[in-house]
Amino acid sequence: MENLIEKLGYFTGIIGFLLCALAGGMRVTGMFYLLNFEAITLLQAGIALMVFACMLRLYFPASAN
């Protein structure tokens, strides 16, 4: 179970970072919409995923052996 939570934390953190990078890249290039979502909405979703990943890593720390 701990292994699953750890991998979920890493996965959501990486996906959140990629979503933030995508939103930032879109704004820099002048694109403001992707699939009818504003770039700022994608940025907020990416931030939410990274915060969720941090919460998983902090509330369910891996047991030290």
Q: What range does the domain containing 41 cover?
A: 2-59
10 inside domain: yes
Query: How many domains in the chain?
Result: 1
Per-residue confidence (pLDDT) for residue 3, from 0 to 100: 82
In a domain, 50, yes or no: yes
- Residues 57/9, Cβ–Cβ less than 8 Å: yes
Let me know if residue 64 belongs to a domain: no
**pLDDT value at residue 65:** 46
- The pTM (predicted TM-score) of the whole model is 0.83
pLDDT for 64? 46
Looking at residue 35, its pLDDT comes to 86
CA dist., res. 60 & res. 6, Å (int): 8
List per-block mean pLDDT (blocks of 10 residues) for the chain, which spans 65 residues. Answer: 85 96 94 89 96 89 57
> Does a structural domain hold residue 46?
yes
Whether 65 is covered by a domain: the verdict is no
